[in-house]
Amino acid sequence: MTDESTPRGALEGLRVIDAASLAAAPLVATYLAEFGADVVKVEEPRGGDALRAWGVRKNDTGLMWKSVGRNKKPVTANLRTAAGQQHLKELAAHADVIIFNTRPSTLKKWGLDYDSLRLTHPKLVYVHITAFGEGGPDSDKPGFGTLGEAMSGFAHTTGEASGPPTLPSFMLADGVASLNAAYAVMIALYHRDVGGGSGQKVDINLVEPLARLLEQSVLTFDQLGRNTERNGNRWAITVPRNTYKTKDDRWIVMSGSAPSIALRVYKAIDRPELAADPEYADPQKRLQRADEIDEMVANWIRQRSFDEVMDRFDREQVAVAPVYNAEQLLSDPHHSARETFVRVEDADLGSMVVQAPVPRLSATPGRVEHLGRPLGADNDDVLRTWLDLDDDAIGALRADGTI
């Protein structure tokens, strides 16, 4: 929450229209809203964003909607009608950024595609997030993050060697795409406002941003003709690196990605002599003994309690961490000290714990002013402040089903 002493948001004065649904595209607007942008959330009058009804619910309230809808002003517009389309164009005339995830063919039919809007809104930064991106044969196909997680190569390299390709249990592709889009918006605004340029289109899909993080697989195939295969929680380019179970049935993760860290592991597990043996110390030779080294570490850990393992690894400056569930994450003293999670008052739920804005800016920090509000809650306010409409004009829009 905020108070009078809270610094102004860095993006205060920036006007954003979130005309998208579900995860990736609306998350872009969420990030901007956390840092002060005036974000208007445009939804269909009946039902609104599908995220409102998606996932876990309490008292008929979607919990993900409450978080993704933070700091936004919900308004309604029936974009399936000419009047609704015109209404959105009028709002866009007062915006800096507009965000869509509707299929390209549908936006073109509605006259809301980039080529149409830029004729009358040349300064507008137009963000379009789709499953596959524009310009290829799959441009107009529907899709969700699950498809991006498969086509990016993520699922192929995730899971046990003898098991099936494994998908994440959260919206990974959507999240990575949203982060790419958010910094792309900043680039486009810098070009416009600092460089004196025009608005432009930001084309993001659900495959390419995640594929960029998996580029090691592409580089390996291109240069060595070898496909990366599943290897459980181990990683073919470093050892030791895995999840390990302690004597008291707790799980930890440990990574020896840096050579200096890997050598410290030997001392931690009472095998200091291995750090001087080239067969175990040299990074490439160590990979040839990956099975032996991993089992050596796992065997030492499984004979000791969680506290003993953590204490020993911490003392030897090994990169180690517990595997947390949500309850353990929320009770972690480090996260508590950093206020990683904040409790926000809410009219529907009483209060709710959500993650605070992630980037920590010292002069203009992000903030959570409120959680997702009811459908159309800010219709009157936005129409008065953005379009200067009076009660009669707003009433007419309601009467003809435009909002």
> pLDDT of the chain along its 403 residues, tens only?
445 555 679 999 999 999 999 999 999 999 999 999 999 999 999 999 999 999 999 999 999 999 999 999 999 999 999 999 999 999 999 999 999 999 999 999 999 999 999 999 999 999 999 999 999 999 999 999 999 999 999 999 999 999 999 999 999 999 999 999 999 999 999 999 999 999 999 999 999 999 999 999 999 999 999 999 999 898 887 889 999 999 999 999 999 888 888 899 999 999 999 999 999 998 889 989 999 999 999 999 999 999 999 999 999 999 999 999 999 999 999 999 999 999 999 999 999 999 999 999 999 999 999 999 999 999 999 999 999 999 999 999 999 999 9
* Measured distance CA(31)–CA(63) in Å, rounded: 17
Q: Establish if 2 belongs to a structural domain.
A: no
pTM of the model: 0.93
Q: Is the dihedral of CA 247, 253, 256, 260 positive or negative?
A: negative
Alpha helix ranges (H) inside 19-103: 24-34, 63-68, 82-92
Report the pLDDT value the prediction gives residue 260, as an integer from 0 to 100: 87
* Measured distance CA(312)–CA(168) in Å, rounded: 32
Same domain, 120 and 189: yes
Same domain, 131 and 261: no
Backbone angles phi, psi at 267, to 5 degrees: -65, -40
Report the pLDDT value the prediction gives residue 1, as an integer from 0 to 100: 47
CATH code where residue 297 lies: 3.30.1540
- H/E stretch holding 125 reads strand 125-130
Same domain, 190 and 260: no
Burial class (CB in 10 A: 0-12, 13-18, 19+), 59: exposed
Domain of residue 298 covers 241-245+251-322
CATH code where residue 66 lies: 3.40.50.10540
Assess contact for 139 and 132: CB atoms under 8 A.
yes
One-letter amino acid identity for 92?
A
138 closest CA partner among 219, 208, 211, 222: 208
* Measured distance CA(179)–CA(31) in Å, rounded: 9
Same domain, 297 and 385: no
Report the pLDDT value the prediction gives residue 111, as an integer from 0 to 100: 98
* Measured distance CA(275)–CA(266) in Å, rounded: 6
Length of the chain: 403
Q: Establish if 9 belongs to a structural domain.
A: no
Same domain, 174 and 114: yes
Total domains, the chain: 2
Each residue's pLDDT tens digit, 173-222: 999 999 999 999 999 999 999 999 999 999 999 999 999 999 999 999 99
One-letter amino acid identity for 153?
G
Question: Which residue in the list 49, 96, 174, 203 is annotated as catalytic?
Answer: 174
Burial class (CB in 10 A: 0-12, 13-18, 19+), 58: exposed
Residue 174 among the catalytic residues: yes
* Measured distance CA(270)–CA(335) in Å, rounded: 31
Token pair for residue 149? 């997680």
* Measured distance CA(207)–CA(225) in Å, rounded: 22
Boundary (domain end) residue, out of 270, 293, 322 = 322
Helix (H, G, I), strand (E, B) or coil at 122: coil
Same domain, 315 and 393: no
Report the pLDDT value the prediction gives residue 57, as an integer from 0 to 100: 95
Report the pLDDT value the prediction gives residue 238, as an integer from 0 to 100: 84
Same domain, 205 and 289: no
Same domain, 202 and 351: yes
Same domain, 76 and 19: yes
Report the pLDDT value the prediction gives residue 195, as an integer from 0 to 100: 97
Report the pLDDT value the prediction gives residue 7, as an integer from 0 to 100: 64
DSSP 142-190: ---HHHHHHHTSHHHHSS-TTS-----SS-HHHHHHHHHHHHHHHHHHH
* Measured distance CA(76)–CA(401) in Å, rounded: 10
One-letter amino acid identity for 236?
A
Same domain, 43 and 119: yes
Helix (H, G, I), strand (E, B) or coil at 261: helix
* Measured distance CA(80)–CA(43) in Å, rounded: 11
* Measured distance CA(371)–CA(344) in Å, rounded: 7
